[in-house]
Chains A and B, each alone.
Chain A
Amino acid sequence: MPQFFLNKRLIILLVSIIVLVALIGFSLRERSKLSWPEQFLKDTTGWVQSLVSKPTHFVTGFFENLQDLQNTYDENKELKSRVENLVNLEAQVQELKQDNKELRDILGEKRTLRDFKPLPATVIGRNPDRWHEMIIIDKGKLNGIKKNMAVVTATGLVGKVKNVTQFSSTIQLLSAMDPKNRISAVVQGKKDVYGFVQGFDDKRKLLLIKAIPSGEKIEKGQKVITSGLGGVFPKGLLIGKVVDVKPDQYGLNQTALVQPGADFYDIENVIVIKRLMTQPVNMESTDGKEKDL
């Protein structure tokens, strides 16, 4: 009965397409945490991944060190010239810190949006198909990592924690296209200008800062940092430098194109940032479809 078998195959295909749509719908939904089978799978593979990636990190680290040795002489020369300036700067910083502390004591304000606790972590994996731009790190819930925390490298903000399991977590990089991902940012100048990091220009490798009021003047080379007003990220994490400004679609706002400070590709060690300032209590109730971080 060839007819029967043909039908059976067709039915299997149709059923699997229905299951596919259901599964994709299930996983695209806003989820506060992963289901336990997913967490279990991720933890197990995370363990195997760190078993494999730690030795490879060691080996590649060794070769990188060898390369660094070649440039040591030139680097040393340049650094020596910088050190002289540094001493001056250090004295100034010390003074300013002291000043700041005294003023704060007078005001009675102890905590600021800037305070955070760093949690260092190592990258153990990366999404191979690179549609979603995610990396996996070796620290999880047990190390105090929570969803939506900011993640930085030495040179700037790279992303946020997307999902946490017991021993590992996934980080969504800023270069991922996710309209739900908005980070409140400040363009530093004579007057601070606020906007949202929203989107990434794939071809030019630039971040887009949207919703800047059209009256504000923004110049090339101005630095962009996080504002801390979103309630989750602390203030003062470097995002990048302004490269270009253009009016948006309707001319009501401006969009700044920002060269990210961090390299989204070559990441080996990251720091997860835990904000010390308490979060707004009504975060849950205002949790709509879009989140401002």
Chain B
Amino acid sequence: MRKFLLPLLFLLLFIVESLFVEYLPEKVFGFERIFVPHFLFIAILFLTIFVGRKHGIIYAAIFGLLYDVVYVEIIGIYFFLFPFISYLIYKLLQVLQANLITAFLAAIFGVSLLEIGVYEMNYLIHVTDLDFIGYMNLRFYPSLILNAVVTLIAAYPLKWLFEKHSEAIRAE
């Protein structure tokens, strides 16, 4: 049971992201902005922080590939960025102490790195011709606020879940 819990959770988050975008109204509080959910990536970052590097990076690679194949149809963008940023965050948290607040800040930092990385890559391959300032206003700030709120709500349950999980791994 415990073995299937994490993959199921991540798969659920993977699907919830697409449902979220489908049902989010076009104008939130009267602003026409693009809110990009990164629930899956937040959970992966928490996994990296509270369970371990190996788990985090493996899950990041698998779900990054799945994300690319199913949603983006250009393989490589998330497949590279998910594990890479997970690794950076792991390194960062080695310097700092891993608790709720640092994990929260690290997750926000990771999501902003991901957002900017994806924008730069898309700009490079001419998927978009949005300028950087326009990008910041249209996508970056709204997405960051959305993901910060979600992280704030989910931080404690995720930490609890992953700490229990890592205890179970150690017990085996």
User: If A38-B69, A48-B11 touch, does A53 touch B76 (CB 8 Å cutoff)?
Assistant: no
Is B20's CB under 8 angstroms from A24's CB? no
Is A129's CB under 8 angstroms from B18's CB? no
Q: How large is the interface on A (under 10, 10 to 19, 20 to 34, 35 or more residues)?
A: 35 or more
User: If A128-B71, A177-B129 touch, does A41 touch B18 (CB 8 Å cutoff)?
Assistant: no
**B127 contacts which of A16, A53, A132, A170 (Cβ < 8 Å)?**
A132
Is A134's CB under 8 angstroms from B71's CB? yes
Interface membership of A249, Cβ < 8 A? no
Is B26's CB under 8 angstroms from A127's CB? no
Output the nearest chain A residue to B71 by Cβ-Cβ distance.
A127
User: If A52-B15, A265-B26 touch, does A202 touch B130 (CB 8 Å cutoff)?
Assistant: yes
Question: Number of residues in B with C-beta < 8 Å to the partner?
Answer: 38
- Docked CA distance A203–B139 (Å): 12
Chain B interface helix/strand/loop/mixed: helix
Which residues from A are CB-within-8-Å of B34? 130
Which residues from A are CB-within-8-Å of B134? 203
User: If A24-B125, A131-B127 touch, does A126 touch B18 (CB 8 Å cutoff)?
Assistant: yes
Which residues from A are CB-within-8-Å of B36? 128-130
**A26 contacts which of B14, B15, B75, B125 (Cβ < 8 Å)?**
B75
Is A27's CB under 8 angstroms from B75's CB? yes
- Docked CA distance A179–B14 (Å): 29
Which residues from A are CB-within-8-Å of B37? 128
The smallest C-beta distance from B113 to any residue of chain A, in angstroms, reads: 14
- Docked CA distance A64–B22 (Å): 15
User: If A16-B80, A41-B66, A177-B129 touch, does A52 touch B19 (CB 8 Å cutoff)?
Assistant: yes
Which residues from A are CB-within-8-Å of B18? 49, 125-128, 136
Give A contacts to B, CB under 8 Å: 16-17, 19-21, 23-24, 26-28, 34, 38, 41-42, 45, 48-49, 52-53, 56, 60, 123, 125-132, 134, 136, 162-163, 170, 177, 179, 202-203, 263, 265-266
